[in-house]
Chains A and B, each alone.
Chain A
Amino acid sequence: MKAAVLQFPGSNCDRDMYMALKNAGADVSMVWHKDAELPQGVDVVGVPGGFSYGDYLRCGAIAANSPITNALKAHVERGGYAFGICNGFQVLTEARLLPGALLRNAGLKYICKTTPLAVEITDSPYTSAYTQGQHIGIPIAHHDGNYTADESTLDMLEGEGRVAFRYLDNPNGSKRDIAGIVSENRRVLGMMPHPERAAEPQHGNEDGKLFFTSLLDAVVSA
């Protein structure tokens, strides 16, 4: 599996994402935001966490319009896999590759802690190695993780089984406790928690590891 991790000015989880993908067995390359094309033959694009462009205007808004993001959109239109973690999720919503938006946390505070999640679906390329309803602990680290969308969009996401992860103890005010969602074809995922920060024994928590092994399995067998 060939994976690419995008790097924007202000990305700071790019190397963590690189390591998690690499440890899962992917051939990973880093791609700079000014590049207009993804490396040849890339299967999966990862949009990492951080503070792309200093969160200017809105979190993810500038990154959603950078040259590499156009290549990402074309990749997704071709049916390619893409996932965004934290700021990456914000970028994917701003680029309209996923519905909804991330608002300021309801409690106004930046929150950095391991948060319990329920795995809501196992029929996605990112969650197939988990068990339905499994409880996992994944770190969050964000100020703007309060997921919102209009009621009809939320009903659609629920109806189509597109809520991938839900908070067990909603830390940020997200509508319907949503922590992560997938696209209609399930190949694009966005989530605020950081599975790449819980993917090695040295992290003290490996609950996020199955996210990357699921992805490898899905892409290699596809």
Chain B
Amino acid sequence: MKARIDVMLKTGVLDPQGAAVQHALGALGFEGVNEVRQGKVIMLDLADGTSEETIKDMCEKLLANTVIESYRIEIL
């Protein structure tokens, strides 16, 4: 089984990289880009039957820093 983890900086946490990307899009002439938030995607190839609880544990203990990041698990 496969799982996809989206890790994003929490709302309200400054994302200077996202802001730089937004600025660069503006410089390319793209208008109306109100905000850019940059995160990461982690793809996991897991033993069949791995519980969502276990994946959540992986996120809490390592894949995301919950002080500043939120995560979303999608079983594929």
Residue interface bits B3-40, CB-to-A below 8 A is 1, else 0: 00000010001101100100000000000000000000
B1 CB within 8 Å of chain A: no
A105 x B63 contact (CB < 8 A): no
B68 x A105 contact (CB < 8 A): no
A148 CB within 8 Å of chain B: yes
Across the interface, which residues of A come within 8 angstroms of B17, CB to CB?
A: 104, 108
Partner of B68, one of A65, A103, A106, A108: A103
Across the interface, which residues of B come within 8 angstroms of A65, CB to CB?
A: 61-62
Across the interface, which residues of A come within 8 angstroms of B76, CB to CB?
A: none
The smallest C-beta distance from B40 to any residue of chain A, in angstroms, reads 9
Residue interface bits A163-176, CB-to-B below 8 A is 1, else 0: 00000000001000
The smallest C-beta distance from B71 to any residue of chain A, in angstroms, reads 12
Partner of A93, one of B9, B61, B67: B67
The smallest C-beta distance from B38 to any residue of chain A, in angstroms, reads 10
Residue interface bits B42-76, CB-to-A below 8 A is 1, else 0: 00000000000000000001110101100000000
| Residue ID in chain A nearest B68 by CB atoms | A101
Across the interface, which residues of B come within 8 angstroms of A108, CB to CB?
A: 16-17, 20
A149 CB within 8 Å of chain B: yes
A149 x B67 contact (CB < 8 A): yes
Residue interface bits A56-79, CB-to-B below 8 A is 1, else 0: 011001000100000000000000
B62 x A57 contact (CB < 8 A): yes
Partner of B67, one of A101, A104, A105, A107: A101
Please count how many residues in chain B sit with their CB below 8 Å of the partner chain's CB atoms.
Answer: 12
A107 x B16 contact (CB < 8 A): yes
A61 x B13 contact (CB < 8 A): no
Across the interface, which residues of A come within 8 angstroms of B14, CB to CB?
A: 103, 106, 146, 148, 173
Across the interface, which residues of B come within 8 angstroms of A99, CB to CB?
A: 67
B65 x A58 contact (CB < 8 A): yes
A94 CB within 8 Å of chain B: yes
The smallest C-beta distance from B20 to any residue of chain A, in angstroms, reads 6
Across the interface, which residues of B come within 8 angstroms of A148, CB to CB?
A: 13-14, 67-68
A61 x B16 contact (CB < 8 A): no
A173 to B20, CA, bound (A): 15
A30 to B14, CA, bound (A): 37
A61 to B66, CA, bound (A): 12
Q: Can you list 20 A-B pairs with a CB-CB distance of less than 8 A?
A: A57-B62, A57-B63, A58-B65, A61-B62, A65-B61, A94-B65, A99-B67, A101-B65, A101-B68, A103-B9, A103-B14, A103-B16, A104-B17, A106-B14, A108-B16, A108-B17, A108-B20, A148-B68, A149-B67, A173-B14
B positions within 8 Å CB-CB of A: 9, 13-14, 16-17, 20, 61-63, 65, 67-68
Per CB-CB distance, the 4 closest pairs between chain A and chain B, nearest first, are A101-B67, A101-B68, A108-B16, A104-B16
